[in-house]
Amino acid sequence: MEKVPGLTGMIVGGGSPCQGLSRLSSERSHLEDERSALFYEAVRVMEMIENMATERRLWVIKFLENVVPDASDIDEMSAALKIHPFLVESGKLSRVRRPRLYWLSIPVGDPGDPTRGQGSSYDVVRLEAPSRWGAF
Protein backbone atom coordinates (compact mmCIF):
# COMPACT_ATOMS: atom_id res chain seq x y z
CA MET A 1 0.00 0.00 0.00
CA GLU A 2 2.93 2.32 0.57
CA LYS A 3 3.66 2.08 -3.16
CA VAL A 4 0.37 3.76 -4.07
CA PRO A 5 0.67 7.51 -3.47
CA GLY A 6 -2.51 9.26 -2.40
CA LEU A 7 -4.34 6.04 -1.52
CA THR A 8 -7.41 6.89 0.56
CA GLY A 9 -9.40 3.67 0.55
CA MET A 10 -9.77 0.08 -0.57
CA ILE A 11 -12.47 -2.12 -2.04
CA VAL A 12 -12.34 -5.86 -1.42
CA GLY A 13 -14.88 -8.35 -2.62
CA GLY A 14 -15.72 -11.55 -4.36
CA GLY A 15 -17.76 -14.65 -3.96
CA SER A 16 -17.34 -18.35 -3.38
CA PRO A 17 -18.49 -21.22 -5.59
CA CYS A 18 -22.21 -21.88 -5.13
CA GLN A 19 -22.45 -25.63 -5.74
CA GLY A 20 -22.78 -26.46 -2.04
CA LEU A 21 -25.21 -23.61 -1.40
CA SER A 22 -27.58 -23.63 -4.36
CA ARG A 23 -31.11 -24.68 -3.53
CA LEU A 24 -31.31 -26.12 -7.05
CA SER A 25 -29.22 -29.05 -5.84
CA SER A 26 -30.99 -31.62 -3.71
CA GLU A 27 -27.57 -33.02 -2.73
CA ARG A 28 -26.05 -29.73 -1.55
CA SER A 29 -23.78 -29.91 1.47
CA HIS A 30 -23.97 -26.20 2.35
CA LEU A 31 -20.81 -24.54 3.65
CA GLU A 32 -19.29 -27.96 4.33
CA ASP A 33 -18.84 -28.35 0.55
CA GLU A 34 -15.12 -27.80 -0.08
CA ARG A 35 -15.88 -25.39 -2.95
CA SER A 36 -18.46 -23.31 -1.10
CA ALA A 37 -16.30 -23.40 2.04
CA LEU A 38 -13.95 -21.05 0.18
CA PHE A 39 -16.36 -18.45 1.56
CA TYR A 40 -14.37 -18.61 4.80
CA GLU A 41 -11.17 -17.80 2.90
CA ALA A 42 -12.90 -14.74 1.42
CA VAL A 43 -13.86 -13.64 4.95
CA ARG A 44 -10.25 -14.14 6.10
CA VAL A 45 -8.88 -12.02 3.23
CA MET A 46 -11.51 -9.31 3.81
CA GLU A 47 -10.63 -9.12 7.51
CA MET A 48 -6.90 -8.97 6.70
CA ILE A 49 -7.42 -6.09 4.26
CA GLU A 50 -9.81 -4.32 6.63
CA ASN A 51 -7.18 -4.51 9.40
CA MET A 52 -4.47 -3.17 7.09
CA ALA A 53 -6.75 -0.33 5.97
CA THR A 54 -7.67 0.55 9.57
CA GLU A 55 -3.99 0.69 10.57
CA ARG A 56 -3.37 3.13 7.71
CA ARG A 57 -6.57 5.11 8.34
CA LEU A 58 -8.05 4.19 4.95
CA TRP A 59 -11.72 3.58 4.26
CA VAL A 60 -12.69 0.09 3.13
CA ILE A 61 -15.72 -1.29 1.33
CA LYS A 62 -16.39 -5.03 1.52
CA PHE A 63 -18.78 -6.99 -0.67
CA LEU A 64 -19.59 -10.61 -1.39
CA GLU A 65 -22.04 -12.15 -3.85
CA ASN A 66 -23.65 -15.58 -4.01
CA VAL A 67 -26.85 -17.46 -4.78
CA VAL A 68 -29.73 -17.47 -2.31
CA PRO A 69 -28.97 -20.43 -0.05
CA ASP A 70 -30.95 -21.86 2.86
CA ALA A 71 -31.72 -19.46 5.73
CA SER A 72 -29.20 -21.18 8.02
CA ASP A 73 -26.42 -20.61 5.46
CA ILE A 74 -27.48 -16.95 5.03
CA ASP A 75 -27.38 -16.45 8.79
CA GLU A 76 -23.95 -18.11 9.10
CA MET A 77 -22.51 -16.08 6.22
CA SER A 78 -24.00 -12.83 7.53
CA ALA A 79 -22.58 -13.46 11.00
CA ALA A 80 -19.11 -14.20 9.61
CA LEU A 81 -19.17 -11.05 7.46
CA LYS A 82 -20.97 -8.93 10.11
CA ILE A 83 -23.16 -7.62 7.26
CA HIS A 84 -26.91 -7.92 6.61
CA PRO A 85 -27.34 -8.92 2.93
CA PHE A 86 -29.78 -7.81 0.29
CA LEU A 87 -31.36 -9.82 -2.47
CA VAL A 88 -31.33 -8.31 -5.94
CA GLU A 89 -34.22 -9.18 -8.21
CA SER A 90 -32.93 -8.11 -11.60
CA GLY A 91 -35.21 -10.07 -13.92
CA LYS A 92 -36.37 -6.84 -15.59
CA LEU A 93 -32.82 -5.53 -15.87
CA SER A 94 -30.89 -8.42 -17.41
CA ARG A 95 -31.27 -11.85 -18.91
CA VAL A 96 -30.14 -13.36 -15.62
CA ARG A 97 -33.33 -14.30 -13.82
CA ARG A 98 -31.78 -15.99 -10.82
CA PRO A 99 -31.90 -13.81 -7.67
CA ARG A 100 -28.57 -13.10 -5.99
CA LEU A 101 -27.59 -12.12 -2.48
CA TYR A 102 -25.09 -9.32 -1.89
CA TRP A 103 -23.38 -8.51 1.36
CA LEU A 104 -22.18 -4.91 1.11
CA SER A 105 -20.56 -2.99 3.96
CA ILE A 106 -22.05 0.35 2.90
CA PRO A 107 -25.74 1.31 2.76
CA VAL A 108 -27.62 0.73 -0.48
CA GLY A 109 -30.42 3.10 -1.37
CA ASP A 110 -33.10 4.36 0.93
CA PRO A 111 -34.55 1.74 3.29
CA GLY A 112 -37.92 3.54 2.93
CA ASP A 113 -37.89 3.17 -0.88
CA PRO A 114 -41.03 1.29 -2.05
CA THR A 115 -38.88 -0.87 -4.38
CA ARG A 116 -37.09 -2.24 -1.33
CA GLY A 117 -38.47 -4.79 1.11
CA GLN A 118 -37.04 -5.70 4.47
CA GLY A 119 -36.77 -9.20 5.81
CA SER A 120 -35.16 -10.99 8.72
CA SER A 121 -32.47 -12.79 6.71
CA TYR A 122 -32.09 -10.21 3.93
CA ASP A 123 -33.59 -7.10 2.39
CA VAL A 124 -34.97 -7.16 -1.16
CA VAL A 125 -34.08 -4.65 -3.87
CA ARG A 126 -36.01 -4.75 -7.15
CA LEU A 127 -34.15 -3.33 -10.13
CA GLU A 128 -35.77 -2.37 -13.40
CA ALA A 129 -34.28 -0.92 -16.56
CA PRO A 130 -35.60 2.41 -17.81
CA SER A 131 -38.24 1.86 -20.49
CA ARG A 132 -35.94 3.36 -23.15
CA TRP A 133 -33.71 0.29 -22.81
CA GLY A 134 -36.49 -1.99 -24.00
CA ALA A 135 -37.45 -5.41 -22.74
CA PHE A 136 -35.22 -8.49 -22.78
Calpha distance 83→70 (Å, rounded):
17
Q: Give domain status of residue 45, yes or no.
A: yes
Q: Looking at residue 96, what is its pLDDT?
A: 64
Whichever domain contains 24, its CATH number is 3.40.50.150
Name the domain count of the chain: 1
The pTM of the full predicted model, rounded to 2 decimals, is 0.81
Q: Are 21 and 66 in contact (CB under 8 A)?
A: yes
Mean pLDDT for the stretch of residues 91-108: 77
Q: Looking at residue 136, what is its pLDDT?
A: 47
CA distances from 116 to 5, 86, 104, 130 (A): 39, 9, 15, 17
Domain that holds residue 59: 9-84+101-118
Q: How confident is the model at residue 3 (pLDDT cuts 50, 70, 90)?
A: confident
Torsion angles phi and psi, residue 104, rounded to 5: -130, 130
97-134 burial: b if 16+ Cβ within 10 Å, else e: eeebbbbbbeeeeeeeeeeeeeeebbbebbeeeeeeee
Q: Looking at residue 34, what is its pLDDT?
A: 92
**Residue-level length of the chain:** 136
Mean pLDDT for the stretch of residues 35-61: 94
Look at 112 and 70; give whichever has higher pLDDT.
Answer: 70
